[in-house]
């Protein structure tokens, strides 16, 4: 871990100017579907925000707007005080500061595990190859797949691939990490190995936005739970409050469906 710098500081160290990630008045439509409706969200440096909600509630879309993989129709999104550029090099530079982990891993299929973690460092950060490889191997060791460095993604299990994807994102020294349902495509026995890496990241003070259906992770790692339904943020609370005493009917209904079997 020593070689890898990550953002330090808990929720208490919030700068006066506002959160590290700020969404205000964000609206987005997919055709007739109003998928994000006036979303306001502020994420402090070092905070772990878990976004939960039923399918189609817009939580993945929300996550993807933060690095502009989805454009927004109106509203503003700022990261570290700077508004998201609409395109071009400025947007690319900003994206390099925002790590993203996808549901379907999306490792580069024609490159080895090591090359996957090296690519961004060399091509975006202009790090020299030897340094980049050293850092890549450190990160792969840290997420527990160091022995797989020379294999291709298709030769790895889903859990291993997802941990490589986390290492690939961390290699850019991101200010914030976005996780878009990182365990939803995994077999049950592989979910924990990925969640453990995420828990560790959270403990080390990484700013994280996690869209997930893993309520256990939300309880144990989140500083704040954001509950979305029908494109709106319905409820925001600490995990104890949210799971123990949800205020809205929508959240009560959702929790009753997922917690009782």
Partner 1 sequence: MFDFLHNPQYDVLGAFWTTVQLALWSAAGSLVWGTVLAGMRVSPVPLMRAFGTAYVNVVRNTPLTLLIIACSLGLGQTLGVTLGGGTFDQTGFRLAVLGFAAYTGTFVCEALRSGINTVPPGQAEAARALGLSFFQVLTLVVLPQAFRAVIAPLANVLIALTKNTTVASAIGVAEASLLMKEMIENEADALFAVFAVFAFGFTVLTLPTGLLLGWTAKRMAVKR
Residues in contact with partner 1 by CB under 8 A are: 67, 69, 87, 89, 92-100, 102, 104-110, 119-120, 123-124, 152, 154-155, 165, 168-169, 172
Closest approach of partner 1 to the CB of residue 89, in Å: 6
- Residue 45 or 95 with smaller CB distance to partner 1: 95
Closest approach of partner 1 to the CB of residue 67, in Å: 6
- Residue 185 or 255 with smaller CB distance to partner 1: 185
Structure tokens of 51? 């976004």
Is there a contact between 62 and 210 (Cβ–Cβ < 8 Å)? no
Closest approach of partner 1 to the CB of residue 261, in Å: 32
- Residue 78 or 192 with smaller CB distance to partner 1: 78
Closest approach of partner 1 to the CB of residue 252, in Å: 35
Q: Which residues contact 24 (CB under 8 A, 6 or more apart)?
A: 40, 75, 76, 77
- Residue 206 or 251 with smaller CB distance to partner 1: 206
C-alpha distances in Å from residue 40, one per residue of 12, 98, 153: 20, 19, 37
Distance, in Å, from the CA atom of 232 to the CA atom of 35, rounded to the nearest integer, reads 8
DSSP string, 19-56: -SEEEEEEEEEETTEEEEEEEEEEE-TT-EEEEE-STT
């Amino acid at each position: 871990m020593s070689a890898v710098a990550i953002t330090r500081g808990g929720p208490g160290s919030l700068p006066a100017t506002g959160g590290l990630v700020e969404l205000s008045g964000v609206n987005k439509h997919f055709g007739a579907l109003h998928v994000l409706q006036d979303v306001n969200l502020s994420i402090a440096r070092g905070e772990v925000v878990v976004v939960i909600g039923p399918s189609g509630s817009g939580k993945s879309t929300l996550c993807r707007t933060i690095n502009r993989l989805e454009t927004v129709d109106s509203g503003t999104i700022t990261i570290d005080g700077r508004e998201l550029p609409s395109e071009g090099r400025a947007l690319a530079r900003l994206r390099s500061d925002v790590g993203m982990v996808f549901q379907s891993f999306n490792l580069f299929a024609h490159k080895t595990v090591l090359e996957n973690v090296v690519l961004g460092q060399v091509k975006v950060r202009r790090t020299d190859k030897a340094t980049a490889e050293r850092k890549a191997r450190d990160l792969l060791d840290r997420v527990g797949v160091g022995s797989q460095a020379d294999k291709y993604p298709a030769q790895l299990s889903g859990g291993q691939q997802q941990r490589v994807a986390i290492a690939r994102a961390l290699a850019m020294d991101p200010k914030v990490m976005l996780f878009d349902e990182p365990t939803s495509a995994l077999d049950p026995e592989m979910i924990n190995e990925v969640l453990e890496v995420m828990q560790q990241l959270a403990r080390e003070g990484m700013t994280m936005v996690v869209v997930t259906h893993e309520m256990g992770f939300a309880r144990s790692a989140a500083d704040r739970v954001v509950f979305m339904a029908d494109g709106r943020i319905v409820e925001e609370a600490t995990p104890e409050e949210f799971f123990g005493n949800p205020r809205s009917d929508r959240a009560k209904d959702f929790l009753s469906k997922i917690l009782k079997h």
